[in-house]
Amino acid sequence: MKMDSMYQEIILDHYKHPHGKGLRDGDAEVHHVNPTCGDEITLRVRLDGSTVADISYDSQGCSISQASASVLNDLLVGKQVGEAQQVQEAFLELMQSKGQSEGDEELLEDAIAFAGVSKYPARVKCALLSWMAWKDATAQALAEAPVKESA
């Protein structure tokens, strides 16, 4: 069925076996909600210099929002912050493509599985929830970083 273009095997895998789930130490924490459906995430970012050392999260929500947080963790942990931001921007662009883009596989890896979700306006917010939380938390962590270095 057509459904499969949204619920790709990769998405269902990440949903059933999420990577990096659970809260661990971080430099900044944010809580984001999707008021229309009640999806929620608490997300922490830990930076090690300019490297994304860890992204930990506690979340509840639909398969799309859960899988997307898992993919986020997979993709961004270990990257330089600048690189990670590029991936975040590419994912945002893919989700806003209304089904018109297939995504840059080299940059997005597993996350291109979400291309089909971009056709469902009601679900785009689910896919973006963790990515927007990460962006927010990273900005906060960076803002605090100079203070920490001098401390």
Partner 1 sequence: MIHTPRPGAGTASALDTDAIRKDFPILQRVLHDGKPLVYLDSAATSQKPRQVLDAMNAYYEQHNANVHRGVHTLAEEATALYEGARDKVASFINAPSRDEVIFTKNASESLNLVANMLGWADEPYRVDADAEIVITEMEHHSNIVPWQLLSQRTGAKLKWFGLTDDGRLDLSNIDEIITEKTKVVSFVLVSNILGTVNPAEAIVRRAQDVGALVVVDASQAAPHMPLDVQALEADFVAFTGHKMLAPTGIGVLWGRQELLEDLPPFLGGGEMIETVSMSSSTYAPAPHKFEAGTPPISQAIGLGAAIDYLTAIGMENIAAHEKEIVEYAVRRLQEVPDLKIIGPVTAEDRGAAISFTLGDIHPHDVGQVLDEQGIAVRVGHHCARPVCLRYGIPATTRASFYLYSTEAEVDALIEGLHTVRAFFG
Question: Where on the chain is the footprint of partner 1 (CB under 8 A)?
Answer: 1-3, 6-7, 12, 15, 36-40, 60-64, 120, 122-123, 126
> How far apart are alpha carbons 110 and 114 in whole angstroms?
8
Minimum CB distance to partner 1 smaller for 71 or for 126:
126
Report CA torsion sign: 100, 37, 10, 1: negative
DSSP string, 44-91: EEEEETTEEEEEEEEEE--HHHHHHHHHHHHHHTTSBHHHHHHHHHHH
Least distance from partner 1 to the Cβ atom of residue 33, Å: 10
Assign residue 78 a region (left: φ > 0; alpha: ψ between -120 and 50; beta: otherwise): left
Least distance from partner 1 to the Cβ atom of residue 22, Å: 17
Least distance from partner 1 to the Cβ atom of residue 3, Å: 5
Minimum CB distance to partner 1 smaller for 37 or for 92:
37
> Considering only CA atoms, which of 27, 45, 8, 53 is closest in space to residue 130?
45
Least distance from partner 1 to the Cβ atom of residue 50, Å: 36
Minimum CB distance to partner 1 smaller for 122 or for 147:
122
Minimum CB distance to partner 1 smaller for 3 or for 151:
3
